[in-house]
């Protein structure tokens, strides 16, 4: 199976509740390596640019307000089939639909405050990693 990299964000609802370590443990238990990680306060313009693909969606403005409401932890996860595997570990976007044992099932508060973001394709993963990290930061 191919070794891939994917971009993960631990969102403000999770950093506020001190869940970074518990979430990271789930990635590591499932075989994903955290090969880069930093805690950031996103600016409005960074969040708007990152989520530009959703700019015409009704939830866009609320999503941006939420993503800048506190610190986030951005990270690069590496492993076999990392993009798909991370989406399984996260669970469905809506926590009410997320399977037991997934991050969103255990920790998410709502579809907006859903604790984590993960790239949805290898192509988007590469673009999202480049958005936050230089190559020399991926160890």
Find the shortest distance in angstroms from Cβ 117 to ligand CMP: 3
User: Is 54 assigned a catalytic role?
Assistant: no
In the bound state with ligand CMP, the residue whose beta carbon lies nearer, of 5 and 117, is 117
DSSP the chain: --EEEEEEEE-HHHHHTT-HHHHHHHHHHTT-EEEEEEEE---HHHHHHHTGGGTTSTTHHHHHHHHTSS-EEEEEEEEETHHHHHHHHH--SSGGGPPTTSHHHHH--SSSS-SEEE-SSHHHHHHHHHHH--GGG--
Find the shortest distance in angstroms from Cβ 109 to ligand CMP: 10
Find the shortest distance in angstroms from Cβ 51 to ligand CMP: 6
In the bound state with ligand CMP, the residue whose beta carbon lies nearer, of 89 and 136, is 89
Q: Which residue has its beta carbon closest to ligand CMP?
A: 117
In the bound state with ligand CMP, the residue whose beta carbon lies nearer, of 58 and 135, is 58
What is the contact surface with ligand CMP in residues (CB under 6 A)? 54, 59, 63, 93, 111-112, 114, 117
In the bound state with ligand CMP, the residue whose beta carbon lies nearer, of 36 and 103, is 103
Question: Which CA distances in Å does 47 have to 25, 76, 105, 131, 133?
Answer: 26, 18, 25, 11, 15
Catalytic residue among 67, 114, 117, 133: 117
By annotation, the residues acting in catalysis are: 117
């Amino acid at each position: 199976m191919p070794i891939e990299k994917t971009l993960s964000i631990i969102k403000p609802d999770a950093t506020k509740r001190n869940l970074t370590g518990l979430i990271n443990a789930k990635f590591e238990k499932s075989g994903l390596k955290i090969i880069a990680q930093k805690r950031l306060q996103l600016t409005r313009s960074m969040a708007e640019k990152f989520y530009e693909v959703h700019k015409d969606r009704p939830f866009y403005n609320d999503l941006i307000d939420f993503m800048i409401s506190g610190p986030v932890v951005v990270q690069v996860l590496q492993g076999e089939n990392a993009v798909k595997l991370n989406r399984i570990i996260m669970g469905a976007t809506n926590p009410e639909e997320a399977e037991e044992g997934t991050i969103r099932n255990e920790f998410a508060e709502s579809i907006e405050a859903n604790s984590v973001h993960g790239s949805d394709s290898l192509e988007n993963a590469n673009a999202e990693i480049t958005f936050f990290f230089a190559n020399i930061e991926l160890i």
